[in-house]
Structure 1
Amino acid sequence: MTNDMQAASGCPFHQKDGGQTSLASTNNSDWWPNALNLDILSQHDKKTNPMDPDFDYAAAFKSLDLEAVKQDLRELINSSQEWWPSDYGSYIGMFVRTAWHLAGSYRKQDGRGGANTGNQRFAPLNSWPDNVNTDKGRRLLWPVKRKYGNKISWGDLIVLAGTVAYEEAGLKTFGFGGGRLDIWHPEKDIYWGEERQWLAPTANRYANDQDRKSLENPLAAVQMGLIYVNPEGVDGIQDPLRTAQDMRVTFDRMGMDDEETVALTAGGHTVGKAHGNGKAENLGADVESADVEFQGLGWHNSEGTGNGANTMVSGLEGAWTTHPTKWDNEFFYLLFTYEWEKTTSPAGAKQWEPINIKEEDKPVDAHNPNVRRNPMMTDADMALKMDPEYRKISERFYADPAYLSEVFARAWYKLTHRDMGPKSRYLGADVPNDDLIWQDPIPSVDYVLSEAEIEDLKAKLLNSGLTSVELINTAWDSARTFRGSDYRGGANGARIRLAPQKDWVGNEPERLAKVLAKLEEIQASLAKKVSIADLIVLGGTAAVEKAAHAAGVNIKVPFLAGRGDATQEQTDVYSFEDLLPKHDGFRNWVKEDYSVQPEELLLDRAQLLGLTAPEMTVLVGGMRVLGTNYAGTAEGVLTARVGVLSNDFFVNLTDMKYNWKPVAKNRYEIVERATGATKWTATRVDLVFGSNSILRSYAEVYAQDDNKEKFVKDFVAAWVKVMNADRFDVK
């Protein structure tokens, strides 16, 4: 052994770089990149939150003088700060774009992204190429945030600033609702794509590059680092008809139809301008990479002043309309009045400019009113003229500016509020009275149930002829649709009895229909009408309580009445298809063979439900011994006392008298070492709780002889958390 090798073997901090010592060289994910990463379940750890534990944001917001905030925003919008001068003496375009790009990361497939958490403040979104200089928008808003402090979150302030900016431009907006809760560290475990390069070729996220509908789920943007589509064309190749395909898919995945897509594209480009009057190579590092002297800002431009006339953003250069600070119909006037040709900006970005435009139709320079500049259009703008369906809508908007204003105002409201869940979560005097179908409205109930009435209902449900498994599974399937990402789904509304949920394979339609029929029969017999939603949850609650008593633990499972029953007319069938369960590790079910492992799918579901790793663990163990597997399969039911809420799953999972033997894809036999006899079968989702070091540590807690009662209490607490996840009326 050489001296160098001896030194390396004896020093725990040995590094390859000339023997230098570093404590930050590698972490567990570097050593074991394929290990199950549980970080997503502690994504919003309270330890990162600087607010007091009893801080109530809703109460703080209600004490806010919203009109005073809006007045301060108006004054800011119509000013120009020396460190970052405004265009045309107005920050209308800046604040619209900052709000747009905060909200624009929303995707309906899993409800992640959007404005609801103020996540644009952190990586990776704060450093996406498409978000260049939104850091300046947030920094411009800082004096307002500092002034009103805890009474308004960053998420609310950014959206409000964009909305007020449109009002200053002359648009009659549809409204504004507060209630967005800021996060305090990056959502690093959200899947934004597998690329390791910004703006990598789009083929990376398409099953078939020629079929633009084959964009990988749950993604909505066409490239890593973009909000929507590439403004220069697909992979930077100008082809508006092909760009239109990307727009249709991307906006649909945000929950927008063709009319909303056209309105948002045109309305977004009615104000503001693009910035590319310089050399792209002069831009410095993004926010996360910039050194300390840049004050937490990124993309420093070393050319000229680095701002004002030298501002670099997308690389495209120019305004879309003649008067970029006014809400008007000039976007469509210019689009349809002139022919447009392909050209490039000073920064080399591909764009479109009009041929032989009248001098009076040109916008003035953003910083020199004595000079006029050509307007420009992106490939997405040209798609509104060239795509046949988009053109029909565009022509109607051109002919009817009032209709454009109405559609855009509603679409902007939807864009910036889509991820906030039901209207009951909205705060402030500017919340519209309208109940919009994309808010998943649910009728309120006016009854109160006494403890005696609840106990009487439990008895009726348990003696109805329905099994405990049928009651538990129906309650679980109703509640498991909840997504903490955008506050959709859940048991409230009982939409499990409506299309499309009643027909979902994962809900076992035949069993579900039987249970619902019996619940409706019970409901009809009651002197005081109780909602089906409450009966569904109460049925599962009663069955869990019965199973706990069978385990020798005398516990009362809390039940909170007050759920309403939504109607089919209040249910957007198309958008609810995005909540369709394709897997549920809690019921040991995977719809089909996916590229990711079942245990990873379990983590995704648990995170959307807002569960911690211990809560996920205890729920899986409890659901197994209760016998709640999909279609009654036996995998993972590691007990001889099925239906008893015992800790048998964890006891037998951690017992070394058994050996685990793989026998098929995602199927294992648990074999007695002494006899070789197969005792049970299991899946990867079951066995990960005995194989993963972190999950096994939780499993061992629940397997201990002195924790049988703790197991039951923890299961009940986690069960109630899921059942009440969507009860915003009592939070």
Structure 2
Amino acid sequence: GFGWTSSYASGKGRDTITSGFEGAWTANPTQWDNGYFDLLFGYEWELVDTPAGAKVWHAINPKDEDLAPDAEDPSIKVPTMMTTADMALREDPEYRKISKHFHENPDEFADAFAEAWFKLLHRDMGPKTRYVGPEVPSEERIWMDPVPAGNTDYDVEAVSEKIKNSDLTIQEMVETAWASASTYRHSDMRGGANGARIRLAPQKDWEVNKPNQLEKVLGIYETISSETGASIADVIVLAGNVGIEMATGKKVPFTPGRGDATEDQTDAASFDVLEPHSDGFRNFHKSGINVTPEEMMLDKAQLLNLTAPEMTVLLGGMRSLGISSSGHGIFTSDTNTMTNDYFDTLLDMSVQWKPNGTGNSYEAFDRSTGDKVRSATRSDLVFGSNSQLRAIAEVYASSDAEDKFVGDFISAWNKVMNADRFDVQ
């Protein structure tokens, strides 16, 4: 934008209008040196007002060599400055320990700054497999969420058969795969099924992931993994595909090669922020959240890089298979067969929806008899109330849309399962 433009005098150099924090922090502001800490610990400081009225700190009785050059004429010297945030590095006991250590060990400070700067610029680029160029570092940092190379040399069909014979339900297989893959965030390329971090803290204990059910399912997958050579990450995704194939009779694409991350490769605290407090696809919404479930669902969809039709078909397919943490929104009598019953029933005009007082769920009453016939959440009903989403829902509710519904679901499902497969994209 043009926020930098100014009509005051020349509008640049010493005439630049700033936020009010005016000055340099060191005597050589264009050179890398230890001057910042030298000044911070070398002087006593006093609080002063800048010409713009901001509060900054100036050194008391600074030496000439510790003054900064003027913005236009280097022969003119001006005071250096510190903000209150800078003074905290000196006055706060814990910050002071760190700052003094860096002051006394400038080489270590330079290395630490280089690491922090590299992290700042690359934090949203995803794992190292996405880096290109001659300066890609050989070592991996834990904040890159490293994943060891996966194995592709195993019999996928044999693994599929073991999964089918495991006595797991379609719902357990599909829900576990979704729980693993849907942590992906397109905003910073974190999360996803690769690494199978759903078996590690903190993901294994997240409420949305049904820890007791998850423990049972992962125990079976670990056995299959050890017997076949497939990674647990691959087994999780393949099992989700198997569940969908059982429900649709259609083949779901699968690309092996995911790896299994270890606890040492996982910064557990950094994964806390990936915990879903709401997941409309699983009809999960924690109480006490000041954002509506449908808004949270839209945010989840954009983090997964989904289009509106992909979001719609995925949610409808999940409900068709009986996946709903709250139990609401299940509009079919056969949750082992994927049909478009969900959309057909959702758009039924013979019922009237009324809130039941919970703030999130609604009940449908037959307009003729007054009987309560079903229940749903805001995440369900938005596909009938929002004009754009309703138009998509009407397509999938059509009597001749069964094949399209299943085909589109498989396509969108495959997209989510492979969202973090940067090694094959």
TM range (shorter): over 0.9
Query: What residue is the counterpart of 1:445 in the other structure?
Result: 150
Query: What residue is the counterpart of 1:623 in the other structure?
Result: 318
Judged with a 3 Å threshold, the aligned counterparts in structure 2 of structure 1 residues 455 and 672 are, in CA distance, closer, same or farther, namely farther
> Is 1:546 aligned with 2:246?
yes
Query: What residue is the counterpart of 2:126 in the other structure?
Result: 421
Query: Given that residues 340 and 353 in structure 1 are in contact (C-alpha distance below 8 angstroms), is that contact kept between their aligned partners in structure 2?
Result: yes
Return the alpha-carbon distance in structure 2 between the equivalents of residues 668 and 319 of structure 1.
Answer: 60
Return the alpha-carbon distance in structure 2 between the equivalents of residues 318 and 677 of structure 1.
Answer: 74
RMSD (CA atoms): 1.2
Output the amino acid matched with 1:534. D
Query: What residue is the counterpart of 2:173 in the other structure?
Result: 471
> Is 1:339 aligned with 2:33?
no
1:352-381 CA-partner distances (Å, limit 9, x unpaired): 101001112112223212111110111111
What is the TM-score when the length of structure 1 is the normalising length?
Answer: 0.57
> Is 1:573 aligned with 2:259?
no
Equivalent of 2:392 in 695, 698, 711: 698
Q: How much does 1:340 deviate? A: 0.7
Query: What residue is the counterpart of 1:407 in the other structure?
Result: 112
Equivalent of 1:375 in 80, 90, 106: 80
Q: How much does 1:634 deviate? A: 2.8
Query: What residue is the counterpart of 1:520 in the other structure?
Result: 222
Query: What residue is the counterpart of 1:587 in the other structure?
Result: 282
Return the alpha-carbon distance in structure 2 between the equivalents of residues 395 and 628 of structure 1.
Answer: 55
Identity of aligned residues (%): 55
**Mean Cα displacement is larger for which, 677-686 or 376-385?**
677-686
Output the amino acid matched with 2:238. L
Equivalent of 1:720 in 398, 409, 414: 414
Q: How much does 1:514 deviate? A: 0.4
Query: What residue is the counterpart of 1:653 in the other structure?
Result: 346
Q: What SS does structure 1 have at the residue aligned with 2:401?
A: helix
Equivalent of 2:335 in 631, 642, 656: 642
Output the amino acid matched with 1:726. D
Return the alpha-carbon distance in structure 2 between the equivalents of residues 619 and 593 of structure 1.
Answer: 26
Return the alpha-carbon distance in structure 2 between the equivalents of residues 599 and 648 of structure 1.
Answer: 21
Equivalent of 2:157 in 438, 455, 470: 455
Q: Unaligned 5+ residue runs, structure 1?
A: 1-286, 288-296, 550-554
Q: How many residues align?
A: 424
Return the alpha-carbon distance in structure 2 between the equivalents of residues 338 and 534 of structure 1.
Answer: 60
Query: Given that residues 151 and 256 in structure 2 are in contact (C-alpha distance below 8 angstroms), is that contact kept between their aligned partners in structure 1?
Result: no
Output the amino acid matched with 2:405. F
Query: What residue is the counterpart of 1:491 in the other structure?
Result: 193
Output the amino acid matched with 1:437. I
Query: Given that residues 159 and 224 in structure 2 are in contact (C-alpha distance below 8 angstroms), is that contact kept between their aligned partners in structure 1?
Result: no
Return the alpha-carbon distance in structure 1 between the equivalents of residues 33 and 327 of structure 2.
Answer: 64
Q: What SS does structure 2 have at the residue aligned with 1:679?
A: strand
Query: Given that residues 421 and 488 in structure 1 are in contact (C-alpha distance below 8 angstroms), is that contact kept between their aligned partners in structure 2?
Result: yes
Q: How much does 1:446 deviate? A: 4.1
> Is 1:683 aligned with 2:377?
yes
Query: Given that residues 462 and 468 in structure 1 are in contact (C-alpha distance below 8 angstroms), is that contact kept between their aligned partners in structure 2?
Result: no
Q: What SS does structure 2 have at the residue aligned with 1:398?
A: helix
Query: What residue is the counterpart of 1:534 in the other structure?
Result: 234
Q: What SS does structure 2 have at the residue aligned with 1:636?
A: coil
Q: How much does 1:421 deviate? A: 1.1
Equivalent of 1:708 in 392, 396, 402: 402
Output the amino acid matched with 2:127. P
1:27-63 CA-partner distances (Å, limit 9, x unpaired): xxxxxxxxxxxxxxxxxxxxxxxxxxxxxxxxxxxxx
Query: What residue is the counterpart of 1:318 in the other structure?
Result: 23
Equivalent of 2:93 in 382, 385, 388: 388
Q: How much does 1:312 deviate? A: 2.4
Q: How much does 1:522 deviate? A: 1.4
Q: How much does 1:303 deviate? A: 1.7
Runs of 4+ in 1 over 6 A off after TM superposition: none
Q: What SS does structure 2 have at the residue aligned with 1:705?
A: coil
1:148-188 CA-partner distances (Å, limit 9, x unpaired): xxxxxxxxxxxxxxxxxxxxxxxxxxxxxxxxxxxxxxxxx
Q: What SS does structure 2 have at the residue aligned with 1:669?
A: strand
Q: What SS does structure 2 have at the residue aligned with 1:420?
A: coil
Query: What residue is the counterpart of 1:480 in the other structure?
Result: 182
Q: What SS does structure 2 have at the residue aligned with 1:709?
A: helix
Return the alpha-carbon distance in structure 2 between the equivalents of residues 607 and 362 of structure 1.
Answer: 50
Q: What SS does structure 2 have at the residue aligned with 1:322?
A: coil
Query: What residue is the counterpart of 2:299 in the other structure?
Result: 604
What is the TM-score when the length of structure 2 is the normalising length?
Answer: 0.97
Equivalent of 2:141 in 425, 436, 439: 436
Q: How does 1:668-679 map onto structure 2 within 5 Å?
A: 668-679=362-373
